[in-house]
Structure 1
Amino acid sequence: MTSFHLEEAEIEKQLINDTDSDCGTEESESCEQTTGSESEVDEDPSSSMATWGPPAQHGTRVVNNYSGGAVGLNINEAPHVNKDSTTFCVFMLYFAGIIRLLVEETNRYCHQYLDRLQDGPSPRPDVIDSEMFQFLEIIIQMGHDIRDRLKDYCSTAEQFATPFYSNTMKRDRFLHILRFLHSADSNTETDRNADNYDRLWKIRTIFDTLNHSYEKCYNPSENLAIDEIIFKFKGRVVFRQYIPKKHKRFGIKTFKICDAAGYTYDMKVYLGKDRTRADQDVTATHATVRDLCRRNEDVGHKLYMENFFSSPHLFDKLMTKDITCCGTVRPNRKCLPDDFRRRQFRLNKGDIRVRVRWNLTALVSKNKREVNVLTIMRCPPAEGSFCDEHGNAIKPAIVVDYNKYMGYVDKADRMAKSYSISGRTWKWTNKLFFHLLDLIILNSNHWPTSSNKRLRCRVCSSRGKRSYIRTKCTKCDIGLCNS
């Protein structure tokens, strides 16, 4: 036997010894081998530059055991919340620290505005906590009752008359709070030309507070998805995005990570090019995923993403944090197999081509069009042409998993927009704040509280189950389901 064959046999032996057992045994139905915290995988430090090869050269697959807590309420952080608690109790877990900030900064901004005027209007009474709650109550109700202009809500015309708004708060008081609504001191703005300038400084405190509360009070599911969403805004802001393929083409883009219930676990607003990373060897998408996953490390989560984020280098880095990944990938990504990047395959319907590098699998399959997938989660499928008796292409298990788990962010976005707060003339800070308010309400209803019971409509008395706080009655479409 030549030295070349001896070396090849030694490499194969080493690959087998790196794991506890082969994935081809009868005990491993999904061809996955797990490893706990005591048994870590010996990774080649130069694995990102390793050679891609056919699936037969690697017969093992190593993934992480999920060691996270039970999905749902974190009892240690909210011992007073149980299954009999109302949705408002859960809502206040997130919002208790924000309401005082809104009241203080709104009053501060109003006084600063009046001080700049020589003959301005007489000062009005300061906003108090109860008035701020009433203001938000009206804002939420406006999501049910979309009208062209703000003054239509307080109109006494027969076709518009709704006593709820005038009985809750006077029109002038509502407009006063809406005009001066603030969450940061305007005098604390830093130099806009500085490298560390934060374009989100006006609402940064609320944003970070919510992200911390979402992580602290909730245990997400094992499978997570990361994606981008855009909420409509056509006003003036430097980081406004135009995405022609989106239904709402103009708006503010947000990256989110969500679990199976549609719970928004973490989020980040796209603010344009990050000047602090200009000289670092980290791409913008890599840094975005890394920042969103910083709260999910070392517990064995499975993360799904689209081709905007996926890359071999990113998957290798997340694997060192006990996060296994799966996602579609652009064929021209750096470090992908050469035949993938050069598009050398001529595939027919049902054809699958696979390349493997250590724990990383890259495959291209064709049904109506070619789909490139990168994953660490499953054993590489066999190459060939796979169609059923009707000539339909059979999807690989990797593609089936991606289609099953990737839609979590879209699910959360659909639920948040069902009765979302809308307004065409608000400033971008108000627009973003009310979007965050939608997410607070949505996240508050993912908890196992009494709000998920069958409730009675206050208008037609019919019973129905609501999935989150602003669901209307399914029969009369008017009354809200109340306990």
Structure 2
Amino acid sequence: MSDASESSFDYNSDLLSISSIDTNYDLSSWDDLSSADGSESKYPEEAADDVEVPWVKEGIPRPNFPFTSDPGIKVPDISLDNILEIFELFMDHHLTNLVVKETNRYANQFIIKNYENIRPRSRVRAWSQTDANEIKTFLGLLLLQSVCVKPSYEMYFSKRESIETPFFSKVMTERKFALICKFLYFSNNNEIDENTSQRKLFKIKPVLDHLQKRFMEVYIPEQNISIDESLLGWKGRLTWKQYIPSKRKRFGIKLFILAESSTGYTYNFLIYTGADTNYGDSFASEPLSARVVLELSNNILDKGYCLFLDNYYTSVDLAEKLSMRRTDCVGTMRLNRKGIPKELKEKKLEHGEAYALFRKKIMLLKYKDKKEIVMISTLHDNQFVEKTKRGKVMKKPVVIEHYNNKMGGVDLTDNMLHFYAMSRTHLKKYYRKIFLHFLDITVLNSYILYKKLGGRKSRLNFVIDLAEKLIEKYGRDKNCNAGRRSKTKNASRLMEKHFPSVIPSTAHKKKPTKRCVVCREKGKRKEIIYWCESCKTGLCAAPCFGLYHS
């Protein structure tokens, strides 16, 4: 999270431009910089490697590294009109078939293992092998449930008139939906190795690996990116559950996210699982906070990107390492970090005053607002920018204003994921919670690509259209309106006009009959040929018809 005070990131705009900020110098590398009067550089190359370069009060220009990446969508011939095609760039046939295979395997393992304990009338005995079309239809229903929110899955298939949503029963039976929810699985239990460091994420790892790869292959982010932590709410038993009081849901599974600053596109991620977290092998010797940054940004180093970080990650050492990899960084700093000069720590400032020190491409700036803020940057100087707030003109360092505008990529993602989320608060299995969360991220990334292509639909309409496309393409053709009629009387029976009539004949029966619902409540079994056509309920012509509708 951003530590700079008075953060002004606008979630409704792609970028907040600052006209007075100019960091695009026509210089290729700070190694070749010279002083303005043409004299030798303030940091001569002949300085010995083991001699520490001192901090000075005046710095030389620090240009952006040349941006050599090629941002944008990297999939040719993608159609704006086919939003299902965009979604299936991530949730492709390979991932769908993996889910189908492991779900069927787990269901068979469960039934064989617990066969003797399964009750004779348990719905588990009705399990039948699922397929790719059924899983895609299942995902479509989950998307609709993120828009039409109800307290439980069962209520979507309820026949109770006041809360009925008949579309769900037409697409899939409640029994099949519940069974898929129960047996949804993503790995083979027979292949788990308890001695590996990946055992905690073993049940969801194939899905994470696939989505992580596709997120990086399908789209290349723009120059400004942010790295921050996110928290997936979880209060169940989990040894690597985290408590972060600054987050909205305080308890949960911690994720490190690299996202595009302007859109919130999730490009890379890591899931924290405690001491055996798999950070990767490229920077194993680095401190933990620096290692997270370097591993997440490994694919985009040496290309002129600018990373925006909070004070959990930043350090002078990390800024130097990123500079050597031709990558800029801007972030808040903690005063107790190693490498901060004593002069900066002890400097006393008045309100609105700033003090900066420079070394090579790095600037450390201390600014006093409501409290003292320390910033580190490899591309800013200690200039101020004027800003009008509540009709009052005030000055603020350029580096703080730029940081506030560009740091919110991960916060933007979290904010958008809060709406239309498929992941429920109360789930018994953590790996299903993670799966649904990353499915939400996949849908959000798909929407960001849709907007990049020029799409004009709102996110709500995008989610609904995507759900309808999935059900239309992969749903069953026949009507699945099945299940028992609700035992609760229809509320409309008291508010509309009703008339008794003879039950019409069908292809199977010339004189069909029904049980009278009023007599049934009295413990009597009475077959009659009359019903209320509006309520679709069997009733004796008298007196039951009048009693039911009063």
- Whether the TM-score (by the shorter chain) exceeds 0.5 is yes
The residue matched to 2:363 in structure 1 has which SS?
strand
Q: Tell me the residue number matched to 1:302.
A: 306
Match of 1:94 among 90, 94, 103: 90
Most deviating of 154-163 and 286-295: 154-163
Q: Deviations over 1:118-151 (max 9, x none)?
A: 5346463211111101111111111112222222
Match of 1:79 among 72, 76, 84: 76
Q: More relative contact order in 1 or in 2 (CA 8 Å, sep 6+)? A: 2
Q: Tell me the residue number matched to 1:266.
A: 268
Q: Deviations over 1:20-61 (max 9, x none)?
A: xxxxxxxx954845317998996978589432221x2x3232
Change (3 A) 1:316 1:73: same
Contact in 1 for aligned 2:146/2:420 (Cα 8 Å): yes
Deviation of the 1:286 alpha carbon:
1.1
Change (3 A) 1:91 1:323: same
Q: Tell me the residue number matched to 2:157.
A: 154
1:292 aligned partner, one-letter code: L
Contact in 2 for aligned 1:232/1:252 (Cα 8 Å): yes
Q: Which runs of 5+ in 1 are unaligned?
A: 1-27, 455-464, 474-478
Counterpart CA distance in 2 for 1:351 and 1:450 is 41
- Structure 2 residue 173 is the aligned partner of structure 1 residue 180: no
Q: Tell me the residue number matched to 2:294.
A: 290
Contact in 2 for aligned 1:31/1:378 (Cα 8 Å): no
Counterpart CA distance in 2 for 1:311 and 1:381 is 22
Match of 1:368 among 367, 370, 382: 370
Match of 1:52 among 46, 50, 55: 55
Counterpart CA distance in 2 for 1:136 and 1:112 is 23
Counterpart CA distance in 2 for 1:179 and 1:122 is 13
Q: Tell me the residue number matched to 1:17.
A: none
Q: Tell me the residue number matched to 1:141.
A: 144
Counterpart CA distance in 2 for 1:429 and 1:284 is 25
Change (3 A) 1:448 1:236: same
Q: Tell me the residue number matched to 1:328.
A: 332
The residue matched to 1:252 in structure 2 has which SS?
strand
The residue matched to 1:143 in structure 2 has which SS?
helix
Q: CA RMSD in A?
A: 3.4
Counterpart CA distance in 2 for 1:33 and 1:48 is 30
Change (3 A) 1:173 1:370: same
Contact in 2 for aligned 1:419/1:470 (Cα 8 Å): no
Counterpart CA distance in 1 for 2:278 and 2:103 is 32
Deviation of the 1:308 alpha carbon:
0.8
Contact in 1 for aligned 2:382/2:397 (Cα 8 Å): no
Q: Which runs of 5+ in 2 are unaligned?
A: 1-20, 34-42, 119-123, 470-550
Alignment of 1:292-441 (within 5 A): 292-340=296-344, 343-381=345-383, 393-423=394-424, 424-441=426-443
Q: Tell me the residue number matched to 2:514.
A: none
Counterpart CA distance in 2 for 1:354 and 1:435 is 42
Q: Tell me the residue number matched to 1:11.
A: none
Q: Tell me the residue number matched to 1:220.
A: 221
Deviation of the 1:222 alpha carbon:
0.7
Contact in 1 for aligned 2:224/2:305 (Cα 8 Å): yes
Most deviating of 34-43 and 314-323: 34-43
Q: Tell me the residue number matched to 1:114.
A: 111
Alignment of 1:440-455 (within 5 A): 440-448=442-450, 453-454=455-456
Deviation of the 1:274 alpha carbon:
3.5
In the superposition, the TM-score normalised over structure 1's length comes to 0.80
2:230 aligned partner, one-letter code: I
Deviation of the 1:380 alpha carbon:
4.1
Counterpart CA distance in 2 for 1:333 and 1:146 is 46
Counterpart CA distance in 1 for 2:461 and 2:266 is 16
Contact in 2 for aligned 1:32/1:378 (Cα 8 Å): no
Counterpart CA distance in 2 for 1:244 and 1:190 is 34
Deviation of the 1:471 alpha carbon:
5.9
Q: Deviations over 1:454-482 (max 9, x none)?
A: 5xxxxxxxxxx414665679xxxxx99xx
Deviation of the 1:392 alpha carbon:
6.0
In the superposition, the TM-score normalised over structure 2's length comes to 0.71
Q: Tell me the residue number matched to 1:15.
A: none
1:168 aligned partner, one-letter code: V
Q: Tell me the residue number matched to 2:131.
A: 128
Change (3 A) 1:442 1:118: closer
Deviation of the 1:434 alpha carbon:
0.5
